Structure 1
Amino acid sequence: MLEQSIGCEEWMNKENYLTTGQLAKRTGITVRTLRYYDKVGLMFG
């Protein structure tokens, strides 16, 4: 789980973007699963 929530303006800042690998490590979800979620439209960005 992510440690804190961030506001929309802060989230939209490209400096705060995570790579797929970074997101996988932070969430415990595999890169393969994240890519699947993106493919079927469950993720945005």
Structure 2
Amino acid sequence: PIVAVLVAAAILGEPILLASLFGGVIILVGVWLVNRSGGSAETTS
């Protein structure tokens, strides 16, 4: 989604809206929260 907004702005001239920026920030914070835990994940089968 973040790359799509940037490509649309660069190639198609689409405006980057505040809602798009806010959504990108939420995505990046979510990725950061998932990856910040230092513990190892235990898998069960």
TM-score (norm 2): 0.26
Compare the two structures and name the one with the higher helix fraction.
2
Higher Rg of the two aligned structures: 2
TM-score (norm 1): 0.26
